[in-house]
Structure 1
Amino acid sequence: MNKGTTGAGELIARITHLEMLAPPAHRVQMPMGPRLAVLRATDMPAAFYRYLYRQVGKAHHWLLRRDLPDGELLPLIHSTSTEIQVLYVDGSPAGFFELDLSRLPGEAEIIYFGLTPDFQGRGLARFFLSEAVFAAWAHQPQRLVIHTNTLDSPRALQLYQRIGFSPYAFSEETVEPWL
């Protein structure tokens, strides 16, 4: 997938919308080697959320929460319909996922998922995505959705499909680059 640009320095993201209609039969096993922990974050401070959001999302030009003031961000991430879990590797934060549960019982969404650059390429993504999928299915939605685009890791779409998601729609959006 190629990153497209417009004449004004904006990026064109080609989005693949994916769904899963039943939970996978098995979790992906935790990789051997480093000490791993996946912890649910409750009442996460805005500064820690911003750190994770920037570390994971900057390279992919994540946009929705990039410039939100604390007064708008905190109600979103502390909502009862939001679940955030953080992956730690040998004690360091290595990534996070965020679930949007506001459309239950019909649908749950993995709204954010990713690893920080220091922990990419270590064989952690498949395990961590499996954790996100099973966390979402614990809320018993009728379907689980996730979205990826051409600004994400080129391996994201393959990973999502290997774990059990299937594309159901495609779209495009213009994104302001994160400098």
Structure 2
Amino acid sequence: MTLLNMNGYTDLPDTKVAVVTTYLEMTAAPEGLEAPHQSPEGVSLERFQGADADRFLRLFRKVGEEWLWFSRLLMTREELAAALSNPSSEICIVRKDGADAGLLELDFADPENVELVYFGLIREATGHGLGRWLMQEALWRAWSRPQTKRFFVHTCTGDSPVALGFYQANGFRPYKRAVEVIDDPRLSGHLPETAAPHVPVLGRSAG
């Protein structure tokens, strides 16, 4: 029997983590959407060209470690290089006061259905309105292409608790939920055990 047909609790092995993923979409550009205004003082958005995988991974960890971002950490170097240089992807790095401070990635592989793949700021850059500015950049980059008919994203219970409300406030509409079960990336060493403290680590070896 699948989870879809079950009520109640389902035990998981200690080496697994389960999150509830919410899928969101918008099927038209938000009313009044305009090109982003000048970036905040000391802030810029730099197109990432895919040559420096180490730089990308450092920022990926800094933005996402607290929220159990792991997918790019599981890739081989060859797989990561291919993902970062994929011509259908648009990867941008937020620069604040000369340092990498955030990540925006869009996937245009299907020109009519554009995915917001990664969106996040380092903790030190939050709380200053940069998230709203970065979302305006994402919305404009997606909807300024005439082929776009749908813009979608997903977030989960491993992510920041404000993420779901933020996406909804910016025009995304939830349309589906799913339960994702994964090997705990902290037990494999891809993330430190201190990552995502709101998701307890259960599978530590004895001693």
TM-score (norm 1): 0.88
Counterpart secondary structure, 1:57:
helix
Counterpart secondary structure, 2:164:
helix
Letter in 2 for 1:94: A
Does the C-alpha gap of structure 1 residues 146 and 52 become closer, same or farther in structure 2, counting only changes over 3 Å? same
Q: 2 CA distance for matches of 1:79 and 1:31?
A: 27
Aligned residues: 173
RCO higher in 1 or 2 (8 Å CA, sep ≥ 6)? 1
What is the CA-CA distance between 1:74 and the residue it aligns to? 0.8
Query: Are 1:164 and 2:171 an aligned pair?
Result: yes
Query: Per-residue displacement from partner, 1:79-133 (whole Å, max 9, x unpaired)?
Result: 11111011111221110111111122x2010111100122122221111122112
1:21 to 20, 27, 34: 27
2:161 aligned residue: 154
Structure 1 runs not aligned, ≥5 long: none
Q: 1 CA distance for matches of 2:153 and 2:143?
A: 13
Query: Are 1:69 and 2:76 an aligned pair?
Result: yes
Q: 1 CA distance for matches of 2:76 and 2:92?
A: 22
2:125 aligned residue: 119
Does the C-alpha gap of structure 1 residues 29 and 172 become closer, same or farther in structure 2, counting only changes over 3 Å? farther
Query: Are 1:80 and 2:87 an aligned pair?
Result: yes
Query: Per-residue displacement from partner, 1:140-172 (whole Å, max 9, x unpaired)?
Result: 311000101111111111110111100011111
Divergent runs of 4+, >4 A: 27-32
What is the CA-CA distance between 1:6 and the residue it aligns to? 4.1
2:17 aligned residue: 11
Identity of aligned residues (%): 33
Counterpart secondary structure, 1:102:
strand
Structure whose alpha-carbon radius of gyration is higher: 2
Letter in 2 for 1:166: R
Greater CA drift, 82-91 or 117-126: 117-126
What is the CA-CA distance between 1:67 and the residue it aligns to? 2.2
Structure 2 runs not aligned, ≥5 long: 1-10, 186-190, 193-207
Q: 2 CA distance for matches of 1:35 and 1:42?
A: 22
- Computed over aligned residues only, the root mean square deviation of the Cα atoms, in angstroms, reads 1.9
TM-score (norm 2): 0.76
1:136 aligned residue: 142
- Report if the CA contact (8 A) 1:31-1:123 is conserved: no
